Amino acid sequence: MKKLILPLLSLLVLNVFNNDLHSKSNKDLETLGDFKMKLELRPRYEYVNIDKNSKDYSDAITNRTKLSLESNRMFEVEWLNSEIELISVNNFSYDNYNPSLINSNNKNFIGEPQQARLNKIYLDFVLSPNTLIKAGRFGISFDDEKFIGTNEWYQMTSSLDSLYLSYSPGIGSEFHIGYIFGINTSLEQKNSHSTNSIITNGTYSLSNLIKLNGYAYLLSSLSDTYGGKLFGTYKSSKKMSIDYKLEYAYQGTSSLSNFEETNKNFINKSDTNPILNTQFYRAGLDINYVNIFFGTNYEVMDGTKSDDSTNGFTTPLSSFNKFNGFSDIFRKQLSGYGDNSNGLSDFNFNMGFNNKYGYFNFIYHKFDAMKLGKYNSTNLGQEFDIVYKKKIPFIKNISILLKGSVYKYGSKESSQINDQNNIWLQLNYNLFM
């Protein structure tokens, strides 16, 4: 389906933009819609040092250039909008790192390969104030992006080729369903992986204190995930609020296959679907007082439950760097590229502030395996993360970000994982036209 839909969309949207750029008539420009252009430059330096792995430190200098063009009211049609976005990630031929999560070399992993992509090209059909249909390539984010996200932290973001419906019947309630026929990851240079998947997510709000969320993510030749969440906010005063969440999900063997590559998933191209029978659960509490916040969270991505299971719980479309540590120690196994048969639990707490002096957050993680296995121990170590972000005074649209992580492995028996230190320094510049 993507071989038909995406080329047609590309021709339509690009033709409109091309006419816009070459038109000499202001009236013609107005009929093509209200255009907005955005340019983002995001240079970044990243350093990683892994202890006892016989490799020197690795570092990367990369820049993300993102150019997007939006059109509202195309052809003076109130319900028709579009967007096209191009992203280019460059390392300036400085390759003192391994950009691949799959292939290894004599350098440490930093997941920023040099690449360029048409990251968005879609049409918006606004059927009513509550109903929206999208068709094309774009990013999809559900909830806090634990299962479906755009991986905005990485220089190349993730996007999906999709037919997508969003319906919001009332305040706090919404429903989303999407048919996914292409997956574009943040890691790989290949533009798109064919798929035949269905994702749904819905939230019903009884009040600010009690909200119910349910979802089903049927990823072809990968997994079927069904889950639900109870969450809400208690506002004890004008200055203080408390957020809570309780969530559970079950993951089983995929019920869908890829039309073009039957029984082959986009991760390892296996001819056999993973046999799954595993679960996920988490509980969290966050307290906000004026501009200060702190919270705690406990989550479990379980391992194999029986001898016939081939892997534990995975989230291949997650925004990974938001969870389980900035160092991405467990990204390979939790994304499905590696083995999560032992499972992973993550107890963490955080504290920080967000005010005129900037945004600061400190996060502590304690990791454990759910059973003995390849690590020969359930103690998988701990991690300390910090991030600070601040707009640069007197310079419009520019911000600076400092980020760091220190991972310490657990017992000597789990020495397949080594100590790791990461540092990031980043500038972000946005120009709106």
The tens place of each residue's pLDDT in the chain, 433 residues long, gives 555 555 555 545 555 445 544 444 555 555 556 788 999 999 999 999 988 766 778 999 999 999 999 988 777 788 899 999 999 999 999 888 888 776 667 788 888 989 999 999 999 999 999 999 999 999 999 999 999 999 999 999 999 999 999 999 878 899 999 999 999 988 765 557 888 999 999 999 999 999 999 999 999 988 999 999 999 999 988 899 999 999 999 999 999 876 555 445 555 555 567 788 899 999 999 999 999 999 999 999 998 876 666 788 999 999 999 999 999 999 888 888 878 888 999 999 999 999 999 999 999 999 999 887 666 678 899 999 999 999 998 888 999 999 999 999 876 655 567 889 999 999 999 998 6
| Distance, CA of 120 to CA of 136 (rounded, Å) | 8
- Type of residue at 185: T
Residue listed under structure tokens 């063009």: 69
Is the Cβ–Cβ distance between 141 and 174 less than 8 Å?
no
Is the Cβ–Cβ distance between 228 and 213 less than 8 Å?
yes
> By residue range, what is the domain housing residue 105?
2-432
Computed from CA positions of residues 99, 101, 107, 110, in that sequence, does the dihedral angle turn out positive or negative? positive
Is the Cβ–Cβ distance between 220 and 173 less than 8 Å?
no
Contacts of 356 (CB under 8 A, 6+ apart): none
**Ordered DSSP codes for 168-206:** EEETTEEEEEEEEEEEE-SS-SSS-EEEEEEEEEEEEES
Computed from CA positions of residues 72, 73, 78, 82, in that sequence, does the dihedral angle turn out positive or negative? negative
CATH of residue 336's domain is 2.40.160.10
- Type of residue at 61: I
| Distance, CA of 243 to CA of 233 (rounded, Å) | 4
> E strand or H helix at 5, and its extent?
helix 2-22
| Distance, CA of 16 to CA of 91 (rounded, Å) | 32
| Distance, CA of 323 to CA of 286 (rounded, Å) | 15
For 356, which DSSP code? T
If one counts the domains in the chain, the total is: 1
